[in-house]
Structure 1
Amino acid sequence: MDNADVFFHQIGVPFRLARGQGLRWDRNTPTMKITFCGAAGTTTGSKHLIEINGVRILLDCGLYQGRRKEAMERNRDFPFDPAQIDCVVLSHAHIDHAGNLPHLCKRGFSGNIYATPPTRDLCSIMLPDAAHIHESDIQWLNKHRKREDLPLLLPSYTKLDAENCMKQFVTLSYNRPMIIADGVSLTFIDAGHILGSAQVILDLEERATGKRSRLLFSGDVGRPENDLLEAAAPSADVDYVIMESTYGGRKHELPAQTSEHICHLIRLIQQRRAHMIIPAFAVERTQQLLYTLDKLRAENCFSPVPTYVDSPLAVRATEIFRLHLEDLKATVRESVFMRNDPFGFEGLHLVRSVDESKSLNKIKGPAIIISASGMAESGRILHHLRNNVSNEDNIILFVGYCAENTLGWKLRNGNPKVNILGDEFAVNAQIETLDSFSGHADHDELLAYFDRIKGSKQRVFLVHGEPERSSVLCEALKERHPQGKVEVASMMQSVEL
């Protein structure tokens, strides 16, 4: 062991973290540096690089989602050398935060990926699924490129790459500090966004100056009234904040309004003998929808209607929810234990095979079809939209955020025609939105969350928001917190602290 290896062995960091992974012992760097490599000026592709004591720590490694050409370029090219990253700290399993991990590992990253146990388990199904979608997308593009005599494309990573990167995960439960690098201690606390989602607390000591500070990365902040999860935990003694701003300037509907509207829409499709198509993320959103539908049905809000979850990923994710009941609200745990399972009510059909999925196109009469992905960018939802979007009797219900230029965003914003899997379709179906199902806190809830962050908060950087949303929240926080500096982070901005 050399001196560096001895030090890391003594503080409990795995031996392989210290050897051969590009650690830089630049003792002349007097300050910590943050570089915003993604989710700055947009809501996707979360990546924030922390450099301290010659160590590089990447907060999240998400896929950028948007226009195909731009997305492929951003996801293919890292603004840093993956082999020089020492470790990754992952806030949660959503693809815009975790989806580019297989590519990072393929390109030479060999360090630890720190995550909560539920996040690790969700990534074990979500990353291979995303890789399969990516490979299928490249295959579809190559068919067209071959006809036009264009060079064929290669996938950035494969399902096997996704499975291999799971070997690098190291799990850490909430409120259990762990030293992950020289002068860096990591603590996860609950973010209330999805199962296992975490706020990241890094306690930092700069070796060159002896300066100590605490950085909080919010990850995605959940709503305090979530049916399944507890609210985001408060934090203390925070000096620097990297905070999401997805719903800056916007307010979600009240729960009572949501319930009334859902019941109204379901009664409409029953009268019309039509379909309600709900694009929903396989993780948390689908489970929350099932919980709500079960609750409203028990309250006789509407008569029973066949409900289909057409997403193998969502089915597997629901099983992971059952494995981690300790991270759900007590009321949900009790429901599962008492066998009044909100994730398996009468009339619910869990669709796994492709043939079962195709058979849904032949359904007559009212039906609810919940399918991934939530932004309608990939997966089985595309086939259901193809078959239902032009029928004026049908309802397309969006229950969460859609990034700009995604198919979901175009439908939500009233585009009269949309392109789905290479063909154009008229949008005649009734388009509805319910942002109260969002896993993201709204403007007022973000302000309340910020107030629960105690400490000097001398620098606050807003990320994960479209420019207009981030700017509105920035102005509100400046008024609320004049003693600190609040700013909207920009792409590839580097800040020394």
Structure 2
Amino acid sequence: MHLLEIGQYKILVDCGLDYEKDRSIQSNENFPFRPEEIDVVILTHAHIDHSGNLPTLVRLGFQGQILCTPPTADLTELLLMDSVSIFMHKANKGRKHGKGKGKFNSGAQPLYLQKHVMDTVERFITINFNRPFRLNGDIELTFVPVGHLLGAAAAVLKINDHGEEKTIAFTGDIGRKNYPVLNDPEQLPAVNYIVSEATYGGRYHTKDKSVEDTLIETIEKACIKEQGRLIIPAFSIGRTQSLVFALNKIFTSGKLPAVKVFVDSPMAVMATGIFRKYHNLVNEEAQEFYNKKGDEFDFDNLTYVETLKDSRQVSNYFEPCIIISSAGMLEGGRIQDHLFYNIQNYYCTILFIGYCAKGTLGHRLLRGDPIVHIKDRELAVYATIKQTDVLSAHGDHDDLINNIKHQDKSILKNVFLVHGETGSMEALSESLTADGYNVTIPEKDVAYEL
């Protein structure tokens, strides 16, 4: 969440939700500004750490427009509705564990309700990629595609500051090249200032194995040689669609014998519908596949599981199979049921394809905890735990550096590094400084004059 002030005009870039366990959800209400004083919000993409606090902003008095790309608007609505479900689940849990009849755990009060989400969605104004949009007489906004997620964009602002033109780009989250379904990030135009994400600063993706090779190797061992099941925790929006397309290519080309695949996530079903709706924005490979072989998100032996009853039936499927379910960090959703029934199965492999934050069940499994707590029970871990970064949707250190290296040093005055752990931002800063760029790692709540 960044606030850009141009005279009296106030632009908020992204408004993410902090789900950290050691903080009360209610701390998200404490904005360091008055929500009613914000003129406009620019949303770079739908992920909850960028969009999830918008309904709180609206609930507390924001009355302006929220500008984003069309897919971002649709995917954000889906994610915000899911946030309400999570809040309500926590609230009900609070009631259940409250002392005495009718008592309520106030710490679990919903941050916002469905009504606030609908009020937020009504404020969306969608703008297509690379189409300049005038905010007022002095400010022009352009969305530049950055991969990472369908509809994800960098926000490039051209500002007339008392007769002097100044340009600033907020990257949002930057994707990587050759990612299934998504287009490669586009180069940013020359700007004076860049506010860049630094998630993978100092870290590098595996380069010697493709997505398909990694999946083939894992499926062959888990489902064909061992005749077991492969469980892949995956975020419903973005990661699941890329994974399904990769599996589609593997099975339709006959690189592996047919294996039953279950996608067990109602949100993934809805998100896949949005990917189909904006099919003109998927990458050339996916479009070509569609033209030659049909829907890239559907193939023989693939079943989208919608009802809870059908989800429970998946546990009774005893043939080798692949189960894709959310949430990616295992902190909720139907994945917990699949883990509950399979964590003690020697013939089960759990493949992590995304980041797991500290404190999550996913993180505990990845660090090798021999016993984990799932659904009010302590269970020993007998399943095989594996991880790969080939499906990470974030650009790595080199990708982030290259995004900035295209800039003209005589025009670019400063790079602000945000959205990363301290070590990641410092590693990125070191590389950029060595290349002659001015770099600042901003402190929270500190203002910078441009």
Report whether the alignment pairs 1:443 with 2:397: yes
Distance in 1 between the 2:38 and 2:378 partners? 43
**What letter is aligned with 2:341?**
N
Q: Quick check: 1:230–1:328 contact (8 Å CA) kept in 2? A: yes
**What letter is aligned with 1:186?**
L
User: What is aligned with 1:280?
Assistant: 234
From 66, 80, 90, the equivalent of 1:137 is 90
Deviates more, 1:148-157 or 1:362-371: 148-157
Distance 1:76 1:142, change over 3 A: farther
Q: Output one character per residue of 1:82-135: Cα deviation in whole Å (capped at 9) or x when no partner.
A: 222111100011111111111211111111000001111112222112211221
Q: Quick check: 1:273–1:364 contact (8 Å CA) kept in 2? A: no
Distance 1:150 1:325, change over 3 A: closer
User: What is aligned with 1:347?
Assistant: 301
Q: Quick check: 2:94–2:105 contact (8 Å CA) kept in 1? A: no
Supply the RMSD in Å over aligned alpha carbons: 2.0
Q: Quick check: 1:65–1:403 contact (8 Å CA) kept in 2? A: no
* Map 1:202-281 → 2, pairs under 5 A: 202-207=157-162, 210-254=163-207, 256-270=209-223, 271-281=225-235
Indicate the structure whose relative CO is greater, using CA pairs within 8 Å and at least 6 residues apart.
1
Distance in 1 between the 2:54 and 2:344 partners? 37
Report whether the alignment pairs 1:296 with 2:250: yes
Deviation at 1:192, TM superposition (A): 0.9
**What letter is aligned with 1:411?**
L
User: What is aligned with 1:331?
Assistant: 285
Q: Quick check: 2:94–2:104 contact (8 Å CA) kept in 1? A: no
User: What is aligned with 1:56?
Assistant: 10
* Map 1:304-315 → 2, pairs under 5 A: 304-315=258-269
Distance in 2 between the 1:180 and 1:49 partners? 15
Distance in 2 between the 1:185 and 1:238 partners? 13
Q: Output one character per residue of 1:19-55: Cα deviation in whole Å (capped at 9) or x when no partner.
A: xxxxxxxxxxxxxxxxxxxxxxxxxxxx111111112
Deviation at 1:285, TM superposition (A): 0.8
User: What is aligned with 2:414?
Assistant: 459
Deviation at 1:73, TM superposition (A): 4.0
From 89, 110, 132, the equivalent of 1:177 is 132
Deviation at 1:318, TM superposition (A): 0.9
Distance 1:76 1:211, change over 3 A: same
Deviates more, 1:453-462 or 1:154-163: 453-462
From 303, 315, 333, the equivalent of 1:361 is 315
Q: Output one character per residue of 1:393-423: Cα deviation in whole Å (capped at 9) or x when no partner.
A: 2111111222333332332333333333444
Q: Output one character per residue of 1:305-331: Cα deviation in whole Å (capped at 9) or x when no partner.
A: 111111111111111111111211122
| Secondary structure in structure 2 of the residue aligned to 1:496 | coil
| Secondary structure in structure 1 of the residue aligned to 2:181 | coil
Distance 1:491 1:404, change over 3 A: farther
Normalising by structure 2, what TM-score? 0.93
What percent identity do the matched residue pairs reach?
Answer: 37
User: What is aligned with 1:34?
Assistant: none
| Secondary structure in structure 2 of the residue aligned to 1:215 | strand
Deviation at 1:445, TM superposition (A): 1.6
Distance in 1 between the 2:429 and 2:4 partners? 22
Q: Quick check: 1:66–1:404 contact (8 Å CA) kept in 2? A: no
Distance in 2 between the 1:453 and 1:145 partners? 56
| Secondary structure in structure 1 of the residue aligned to 2:258 | coil
Deviation at 1:444, TM superposition (A): 1.4
Distance in 2 between the 1:251 and 1:147 partners? 53
Distance in 1 between the 2:358 and 2:425 partners? 14
Q: Output one character per residue of 1:190-213: Cα deviation in whole Å (capped at 9) or x when no partner.
A: 011111110110112224xx3321
Report whether the alignment pairs 1:106 with 2:59: yes
Unaligned runs of 5+ in 1: 1-46
User: What is aligned with 1:8?
Assistant: none
Deviates more, 1:331-340 or 1:242-251: 331-340
Distance in 1 between the 2:426 and 2:204 partners? 15
Deviates more, 1:182-191 or 1:425-434: 425-434
Deviates more, 1:330-339 or 1:471-480: 330-339
Distance in 1 between the 2:137 and 2:7 partners? 7
Deviation at 1:143, TM superposition (A): 1.4
From 15, 20, 28, the equivalent of 1:75 is 28
Distance in 2 between the 1:366 and 1:130 partners? 34
| Secondary structure in structure 2 of the residue aligned to 1:80 | coil
| Secondary structure in structure 2 of the residue aligned to 1:449 | helix
| Secondary structure in structure 2 of the residue aligned to 1:397 | strand
**Number of residues paired by the alignment?**
446
User: What is aligned with 1:394?
Assistant: 348
Distance in 1 between the 2:371 and 2:441 partners? 34
Q: Quick check: 2:252–2:299 contact (8 Å CA) kept in 1? A: no
Distance in 1 between the 2:75 and 2:82 partners? 11
Distance in 2 between the 1:399 and 1:288 partners? 11
| Secondary structure in structure 2 of the residue aligned to 1:242 | strand
Distance in 2 between the 1:151 and 1:122 partners? 31
Distance 1:474 1:90, change over 3 A: same
Q: Quick check: 2:4–2:12 contact (8 Å CA) kept in 1? A: yes
Q: Quick check: 1:131–1:158 contact (8 Å CA) kept in 2? A: yes
Distance in 1 between the 2:24 and 2:405 partners? 35
Distance 1:158 1:421, change over 3 A: farther
Unaligned runs of 5+ in 2: none
User: What is aligned with 1:94?
Assistant: 47
Deviation at 1:64, TM superposition (A): 1.4
Distance 1:493 1:409, change over 3 A: farther
Deviation at 1:475, TM superposition (A): 0.8
From 175, 195, 200, the equivalent of 2:155 is 200
| Secondary structure in structure 2 of the residue aligned to 1:395 | strand
